[in-house]
Structure 1
Amino acid sequence: MNELVVETDGLTKRYGDRLAVDRVSMTVMRGEVYGFLGPNGAGKTTTLRMMLGLIRPTAGSASVLGLPAGRPEVTERIGALIEGPGFYPYLNGRDNLRTMARYQGLPATEVDRVLEMVDLTDRAKDALKGYSLGMKQRLGVAAAMLGSPDLLVLDEPTNGLDPAGMADMRSLVVSLAAAGQTVILSSHILAEVQEICDRVGVINDGRLLRESTVAELRGGATLRVRATPEDAALAALMRIAGDEGVRRIGNETLEVDLPATDAPEIVRHLVAHSIDVHEVTVAERSLEDVFFEMTGTTTPGEELVS
């Protein structure tokens, strides 16, 4: 996973006086699932469009698979679903994909392969105008997978899917990466990104705030201890974790910057000092918590598209 598939250097896009993307430098490695996150208007989709060669940057550069973005020999190795799929409404699902496959010089067997992968084989003969939003999303992902591209860019691939369909799509994305394909995934469901992405990039106001693994972004786990008397528990825990390593976070609850493996020692220490221990739990920050802290947004569930 050391081979660079995508690299941007100071990528910038300006529309008149508005700076949509501000010097974004990011990397995506082969075989990883990369989560690209940002609130509404952050510049995420604009960045992806420059990466795909759909729009020209004002400054900076983007290279994909070792070549400048937008080159025909690069584009043919990329599959993308950006801001919803576009199809012929009066053709059925299979014929829509056949049309796209024909443009790419692919055989009809390729259409059958991707339809099966997104579980649409049984509905492939239905006219697109009768498809639900979730079915259209599945068909859009199938279209992106035609020809087994080296890089897949998927914008909200689980949009409109029921819980079972979302789970199937997550499994599909993971299996594609395991087979050597690289996936750039945007999703407003941060728990989904946390579950399947290897690394994430967080963009806000056109700037890339952070790029790291999900584990690094979330930070380490802490221990939460509910004990009485609280003042005595606080003093006892500070002797173990240091003055800055313990915080009050609620009624009779203290957060301790120590690993979960230290829980037995903490309990023994408190009991030895005649402190009643009511509860010890492991606390980990979710990706959603980190995202809201970094971007200054406070409304869970806000769509992270731009």
Structure 2
Amino acid sequence: MILVKTLEDLRRELDSFDKAETVGFVPTMGALHQGHLSLVAKAVEENPHVVVSIFVNPTQFNDLKDLERYPRTLARDMELLKPTGCSIVFAPNAKEVYPEPDLRKFNFGKLEEVMEGAHRPGHFNGVAQVVSRLFDMVKPDKSYFGLKDFQQLAIVKNMVKQLQLPVEIVPCAIIREESGLAMSSRNELLTKEQRENASVISTTLFKAKELMGQKSVEELTGWVVDEINKNPFLDVEYFEIVDDEQLQPVKSWNEESTKVGCVAVFCGKIRLIDNLVFN
């Protein structure tokens, strides 16, 4: 495993690979946890060469304080990646990724008008900017994304289609802590007490799935919000039950679509997201 920080060094290493062998890519913002490592493991299983990027992308933060708070732990991340079998860790600075301001404006239609898109204006445009740039730098055959960021995954798939990029997007399962809390780099910012109470988010989602047949979509949506908000550590920003393709709110359980419950919750100042397939 080698650490590179410039595009020139990255390309030199990539050029040393056998062109007949595939390259897997795992884009991250660092502060790695077992969820990230599960993506790397999947990539290593499926490709002779794997690149992991570590870059906290400024263009996807609509809150500068959130950008400042985001954990940066490169030395620890490198230690975690050593035993995984990944080939290259690419850790560029902002000037390397954006030598000039990226003025592109993507149109994702209804996909970006709900949930994360509605509450974080410009977020997904920043995601598309950085992921498309990283794809251009790494030129992977496959790229691996966690299903925890369910809406982001849909956006990335749409971007790949729009730009006609020759990369396969591979979704990977959510990895949870023992308490059920979805693993996230932001969990590191929680106090021990907050972390314990944050497990209410996933507990409530799993209970909600059991109640599907007893409550309407509207009733269940209200129940989830009320149940999480009962906890004094938690404050729901949104909870939506949506279809898995266009991410539009579902009105009835009878609609022919896979239904996903998606939630964003503040635990103190830390914003956590999670989701669960409700079918």
Report the TM range for the smaller structure's normalisation: under 0.3
Name the structure with the higher helix share. Answer: 2
TM, length-normalised to structure 1: 0.26
Structure with the larger RCO, 1 or 2 (CA within 8 Å, 6+ apart):
1
TM, length-normalised to structure 2: 0.27
